[in-house]
Amino acid sequence: MEMKFLVDDDSLTMRRIVVNALKSLGYEQVVEASDGKEAITKLTTEGSTFVITDWNMPEMNGLDLSRWLRSNAQYENIPILMITTRGNKDDVIEAMKARVNNYIVKPFTPQGLKEKIEQILKTVEVKA
């Protein structure tokens, strides 16, 4: 089964970095969104098997997006990787309470991204 990633970040530059890293890892199917509301729209219209989201965004942030996904039966098990500048312990705990699968602090390397994705895929059954 081919993975389809939804990359959600209000920074076009950061989306480019994540998309390029995913493509270098062999993941070709990527959908982009610039905030949580757009992410929900893209998810419902284009589908996805894995969400990578920033925390700090206008309109709807990544934490609220994660809570929405977890409260929606269709998406409650979709893997979520949060990428953010927020690295303090309280933020990590809050993200985990929102049931993100893993957390990576910016700046990150493509190798770091690969490791986080692989960790998530080992523990989660991805549904096409």
**pLDDT tens, 97-122?**
999 999 999 889 999 999 999 999 99
CA count, 13 A, side-chain hemisphere, 95: 25
Burial of 5 (0-12, 13-18, 19+ CB in 10 A): buried
121 within 8 A of 79, measured Cβ to Cβ: yes
Which tens digit of pLDDT belongs to each residue from 42-92? 999 999 999 999 999 999 999 999 999 999 999 999 999 999 888 888 998
Which structural domains are found in the chain, ordered by start? 5-123 (3.40.50.2300)
4 within 8 A of 31, measured Cβ to Cβ: yes
Q: Which two tokens stand for residue 61?
A: 């942030």
Tell me the pLDDT band of 123, cut-offs 50, 70 and 90: confident
121: helix, coil or strand? helix
Which tens digit of pLDDT belongs to each residue from 1-20? 579 999 999 999 999 999 99
Sequence letter at residue 1: M
Q: Which two tokens stand for residue 111?
A: 């190798």
> Is pLDDT of 128 > 60?
no
